[in-house]
Amino acid sequence: MEIFEYTNKDLSAANIDQLWEQQWKRIESTGLLRYDQPRENPNVKFVESEEGFKFAFQYLLNRGSKRRARVQFSSVNEPFSNERFHFGKINSSEILFTLKPAHRPNSSTTAIANVSPIEWGHFLLVPNLEQNSMQKITRGTREVVF
């Protein structure tokens, strides 16, 4: 697993993009994806509403039949349960990389490939994967995203 330790001064989108693309190609080549997702989907239609909102509609062949069954939650604030799905149960090969801020040594954000991708390169950011926490956004993850 690739660990990318950074400070606020040296975090560069270019570095992250290059790392993400390399790791996504690794995921594709190992057969972890449930179906092929082309880098550019030819089955996309763009529509603009009367109010000026723009929408993209995609036909994703095989997504409906080959993705994992959806896990039902009764609340967005469900406590962590080792019995149910959690990201600690994924195949470690699905991990693209982990971001570790130098100024917050006990914090990490792990990028995990979505093996049933909506787009080429579709991944999830999971805060503090090793802590087996409930699925929620943390301060550290907000810093990575924004």
Read off the pLDDT of residues 131-140 as tens digits, 9 standing for 90 and up.
Answer: 877 777 767 6
Which residues lie across from 43 on neighbouring strands? none
The pLDDT of residue 16? 80
Domain residue spans of the chain: 3-145
Query: Stretch 77-105: mean pLDDT, rounded?
Result: 85
pTM of the model: 0.76
The pLDDT of residue 140? 64
Query: Stretch 25-52: mean pLDDT, rounded?
Result: 89
CB 123 within 8 A of CB 20: yes
CA-closest candidate to residue 49, choices 61, 57, 58: 57
